[in-house]
């Protein structure tokens, strides 16, 4: 009897120690389980029916900032507004969507911006490239008046060629040297200027 009691007491102590040890890493509060750290070869997330399931990451205000599930990754800002979506369309095609003036930017090994692709300050799409000095070298996109624009700049960021509703070229001083487009009479026109911007030669397509 004494040996039985001793064995029972020893087992109880071991069980209590085990629960105390687990309690340092695991808590169950309000039906929710909390772990300080999880290390595993793989994790499978399903609901109670063995289907679906999601992983959500919350910020300090208990608002969801990232959600993984159903073949989707969704990101939210601190106000709870969706900012990014990676998943599939209703037709089953892959989709990456960036909201709230979203953009994609790349940087070189020195941490300097090299490419910008996204929404510009006019609420329209734009693609920009930058050199090592982070000077804009090319721009293609939509500008304020709704026109499409293509510009090429030199190493200092000064425009050397400009295409909007016409094509213009510029020298290193920023002076226009060439024009190809439409004149005031809606006829085709080509004009060449000297280094100072003075008209040197022109021709009209009017017959």
Q: Domain map of the chain by residue range?
A: 25-98, 103-204
Per-residue pLDDT of the chain (207 residues; tens, 9 = 90+): 444 444 434 444 444 444 444 444 555 556 667 777 888 899 888 888 887 788 899 998 888 999 998 889 999 998 889 999 999 999 999 999 999 999 999 999 999 999 999 998 888 999 999 999 999 999 999 988 888 999 999 999 999 999 988 999 999 999 999 999 998 889 999 999 999 999 999 999 988
Q: What is the pTM of this model?
A: 0.69
Query: Long-range contacts for 172-177 (Cβ within 8 Å, ≥24 apart)?
Result: none
Q: Report phi then psi at 161, rounded to 5.
A: -145, 140
**pLDDT of 35:** 76
pLDDT of res. 27: 56
First-to-last alpha carbon distance for the chain, in angstroms, is 122
| pLDDT of amino acid 28 | 56
Fold of 103-204: Outer Surface Protein A; domain 3 (3.90.930)
- Three-state secondary structure call for residue 13: helix
CA distance 123 to 160: 25
Residue 140 is encoded by which pair of tokens? 């293609």
pLDDT at res. 37? 84
How many angstroms separate the CA atoms of 14 and 95, rounded? Answer: 54
What integer pLDDT is reported at residue 129 of this predicted model? 97
Q: So what's the pLDDT on residue 48?
A: 81
* Burial of residue 17 (number of CB atoms within 10 Å: 0-12, 13-18, 19+): exposed
């Amino acid at each position: 009897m004494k040996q039985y009691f001793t064995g029972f007491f020893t087992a109880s102590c071991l069980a209590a120690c085990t629960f105390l040890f687990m309690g340092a890493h695991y808590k169950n509060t309000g039906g929710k389980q909390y772990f300080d750290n999880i290390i595993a070869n793989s994790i499978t997330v399903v609901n109670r029916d063995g289907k679906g399931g999601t992983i959500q990451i919350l910020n300090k205000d208990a608002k969801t900032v990232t959600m993984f599930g159903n073949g989707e990754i969704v990101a939210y800002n601190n106000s709870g507004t969706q900012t990014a979506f990676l998943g599939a369309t209703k037709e089953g095609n892959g989709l990456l969507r960036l909201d709230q003036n979203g953009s994609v930017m790349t940087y070189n090994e020195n941490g300097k911006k090299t490419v910008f692709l996204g929404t510009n300050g006019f609420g329209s799409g734009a693609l920009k490239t930058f050199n090592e000095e982070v000077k804009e070298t090319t721009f293609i996109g939509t500008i304020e008046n709704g026109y499409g624009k293509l510009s090429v700049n030199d190493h200092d960021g000064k425009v050397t060629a400009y295409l909007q509703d016409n094509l213009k070229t510029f020298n290193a001083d920023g002076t226009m040297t060439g024009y190809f487009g439409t004149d005031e009479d809606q006829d085709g026109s080509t004009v060449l200027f000297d280094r100072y911007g003075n008209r040197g030669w022109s021709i009209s397509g009017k017959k």
